[in-house]
Amino acid sequence: MAYGTIEYARARADEWRDTFLMAAVSAVQRLGAPLGVELSQTQALGHLETWYLGQDVQKVEAATKSLNESSQRLEAQTKRLVRLTQVLMGLTGILAVLSVIQIVR
């Protein structure tokens, strides 16, 4: 695998991800020790995965909230545009009637 290629970059990223994951697992295991809890590597990894999943859920909830707010604003703007269109149609009708009256005279 040649330096500077996409494959090289992916391989290095995988190595770093694995290194950081193992460091995090080790840290979780060390945090459990003062509490009198001895965690296996699998349990520590489970705690990390649960935390990451919680972070992902919070991001999805925030995105959903933002989407709902945007949808509500769009709905309000749509109602205003419909009302404006109705007013313009009414004015166009009045102008049409006035034009016919003007032509008839």
Contact 44, 25 (CB under 8 A): yes
Mean pLDDT of 27-35: 70
Which residue do the tokens 């166009």 mark?
92
Q: What is the pLDDT of residues 53-68, one digit of tens each?
A: 999 999 999 999 999 9
Average pLDDT over residues 42-51: 82
Q: Is the pLDDT of residue 38 over 80?
A: no
For residues 52 and 72, what is the distance between their CA atoms, to the nearest angstrom? 30
What does the DSSP assignment read for 7-43? HHHHHHHHHHHHHHHHHHHHHHHHHHGGGT----HHH
More confident position, 37 or 54: 54
The pLDDT assigned to 14 comes to 83
Distance CA 36, CA 26 (A): 16
